[in-house]
A and B are shown apart, each in its own frame.
Chain A
Amino acid sequence: AQTVTQSQPEMSVQEAETVTLSCTYDTSESDYYLFWYKQPPSRQMILVIRQEAYKQQNATENRFSVNFQKAAKSFSLKISDSQLGDAAMYFCAYRSAERDDKIIFGKGTRLHILP
């Protein structure tokens, strides 16, 4: 079974600095999707960025980018120029592209932004 591991329960970063959130996953599949979701205090989960495993180019969305290392099964999220509104829980998630299956989430990393 696939698993998603986020080894950092909490992180802090100074406003305007850069922070990287770690995520590793375990799968025997070669085709899949990876996601980062953000959950602010409002509890509303928001998709931040997604990556398709067969694409070697790392996905980027404005200040958010990923470092996708398929062989290492690593999918880290980099947030540049951190802003107070980035404070939230961040969840890494996996979904198979080979089978109809649900999205599997990690336990999350709580990110604090220090003014």
Chain B
Amino acid sequence: GAGVSQSPSNKVTEKGKDVELRCDPISGHTALYWYRQSLGQGLEFLIYFQGNSAPDKSGLPSDRFSAERTGGSVSTLTIQRTQQEDSAVYLCASSLYHSGSGANVLTFGAGSRLTVL
């Protein structure tokens, strides 16, 4: 596609429910990143994918968070048993590569705003 597409745009859920957030990167971009943006905070790195593999999962806050990427394209971020502190905007970005000059132009999606009641 022309840009990075994220869905849903907004999600309201009850504490304890599972949620899935989807990211459709730019076609041909091999690197895909998930960041979390909480109120008053910067962008917190969660995980990145190079192709379908995730070399760096260091930012995932807990084992309730997981992510996968299939076919080197669409990625899904899953949060199990959501807690109120999970409320945030989840941003996805993609770049041509993860290293080299092609890594330095990140295109972001508009984010998914998650509200846990």
Contact = CB atoms under 8 A, between A and B. Distances in A.
B9 to A, nearest CB: 9
Given A46-B108, A102-B33, 12 more contacts: A4-B42, A43-B89, A43-B111, A44-B110, A47-B106, A91-B43, A95-B103, A95-B104, A103-B33, A105-B35, A107-B42, A108-B42
B62 interface: no
Which interface class (under 10, 10 to 19, 20 to 34, 35 or more) fits B?
20 to 34
A100 interface: yes
A53 B4 CA distance: 28
Interface string B77-117: 00000000000010101000011000111101111010000
Contacts of A91: 42-43
B111 A102 contact: no
Contacts of B56: 101-102
A91 B93 CA distance: 15
Interface residues of A, number: 23
Contacts of A4: 42
Contacts of A103: 33, 45, 106
Nearest to B105: A47
A91 B89 CA distance: 15
A45 B108 contact: yes
